[in-house]
């Protein structure tokens, strides 16, 4: 539960669906315009009361930060490289009677802009959001209504987003069963937009993924060669007398890619002892090995840092070794899917 009395000066995100959001050609560049926030129009945060609250923005909330020429970026889903920036003059922020108005001149040759244009033209992305810190606000007595009186955009952003807010991720979770039910019905694209807007880092997401996979594999133990468990074996597993081994394949993920080579031994040695980083770096782990030992992992293709890009030479080298690897065919197929995902990222 969010402590509503401790929100001031903490990073926050808000998004809206804007009917006045467009991208058009102008003077050799693309001009993006729209509203990242609107005034005096209440919206629910965290689903609204009782678990969340209702909030609105005062028409003077941006006066100080805009007067101080806040340095802000224009982003996609609150992440990635900037499309424009107030400091460079390519992004202009102002207010009118409606809200916080965004005007950005985009470079048509920018690959990120080229990826955005067709999605906006098809109205697949037609919402905006802004990242800010609250400097002054007002709450009612039971903390169910909040008015933003002054916010700072300095080192914040305005973003084109898939969804301004994802109601599915704003529900109150009272148990693990509630969380699993949410995950089962969640749309991945909507979830990613909300995670980015909430500032969830990749390391936390990686840990959450690994925990879910561990739960799944412990509830579904690997069968013996004959494909059956005796009643005594099933009872031993249920009673915790038999340790259930985790599967060896590491799920694929999309990242940036680089043509730089990777010193595989040095990278693995650097990450030794950090299971989260080791899993991020590799495509396979020995299910019977020490999860914090570098020699339990194979097919490295990332530098030892969460968020680092995949090395294409390392990916191709790993794929060349895979056919001769001593592992079951289903594990080889999983490793290949992991590695080829990065090849797709590069295309």
Q: Which of 122-126, 193-197, 313-317 has the lowest mean pLDDT?
A: 193-197
Q: Which of 73-77, 200-204, 306-310, 320-324 has the lowest mean pLDDT?
A: 200-204
pLDDT of residue 145: 92
- Which pLDDT band holds residue 178 (cuts at 50, 70, 90)? low
d(CA 57, CA 44): 12
d(CA 288, CA 70): 53
DSSP string covering 78-123: TEEEEEEETTTTSEEEEE-SSEEEEEEEE-TT-HHHHHHHHHHHTT
pTM over 0.75: no
pLDDT of residue 263: 92
Mean pLDDT of 248-273: 86
- Which pLDDT band holds residue 49 (cuts at 50, 70, 90)? confident
pLDDT of residue 57: 94
Contacts for 147 with CB less than 8 Å, ≥ 6 apart: 55, 56, 57, 58, 137, 138
User: Please, is 37 exposed, middle or buried when counting C-beta atoms within 10 Å of its C-beta (0-12, 13-18, 19+)?
Assistant: buried
pLDDT of residue 60: 96
Question: Which residue ranges make up each domain of the chain?
Answer: 6-170, 201-346
CB distance 125 to 119 below 8 Å: yes
């Amino acid at each position: 539960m969010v402590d509503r009395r401790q929100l001031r000066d903490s990073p926050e995100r808000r998004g809206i669906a804007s009917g006045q959001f467009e991208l058009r050609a102008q003077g050799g560049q693309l001009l993006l315009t729209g509203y990242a926030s609107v005034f005096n129009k209440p919206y629910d945060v965290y689903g609204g009361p009782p678990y969340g609250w209702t909030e609105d923005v005062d028409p003077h909330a941006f006066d100080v930060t805009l007067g101080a020429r806040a340095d802000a970026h224009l982003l996609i889903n609150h992440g990635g490289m900037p499309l424009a920036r107030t400091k460079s003059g390519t992004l202009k922020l102002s207010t009118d009677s409606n809200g916080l108005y965004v005007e950005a001149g985009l470079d048509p040759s920018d690959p990120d802009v080229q990826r955005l244009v067709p999605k906006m033209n098809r109205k697949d992305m037609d919402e905006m959001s802004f990242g800010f810190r609250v400097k002054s606000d007002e709450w009612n007595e039971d903390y169910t209504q909040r008015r933003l009186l002054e916010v700072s955009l300095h080192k914040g952003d305005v973003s084109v987003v898939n969804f301004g807010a994802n109601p599915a991720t704003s529900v109150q979770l009272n148990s693990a069963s509630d969380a699993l039910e949410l995950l089962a019905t969640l749309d991945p694209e909507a979830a990613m937009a909300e995670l980015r807007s909430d500032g969830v880092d990749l390391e936390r997401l990686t840990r959450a993924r690994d925990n879910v996979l561990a739960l799944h594999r412990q509830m579904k133990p690997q069968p013996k060669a004959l494909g059956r468990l005796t009643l005594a074996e099933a009872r031993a597993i249920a009673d915790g007398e038999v340790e259930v081994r985790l599967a060896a394949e590491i799920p694929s993920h999309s990242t940036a890619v680089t043509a730089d080579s990777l010193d595989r031994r040095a990278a693995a040695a650097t990450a030794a002892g950090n299971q989260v980083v080791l899993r991020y770096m590799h495509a396979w782990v020995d299910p019977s090995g020490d999860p914090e030992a570098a020699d339990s992992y194979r097919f490295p293709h990332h530098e030892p840092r969460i968020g680092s890009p995949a090395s294409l030479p390392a990916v191709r080298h790993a794929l060349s070794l895979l056919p001769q690897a001593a592992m079951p065919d289903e594990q080889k197929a999983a490793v290949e899917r992991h590695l080829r995902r990065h090849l797709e990222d590069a295309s």
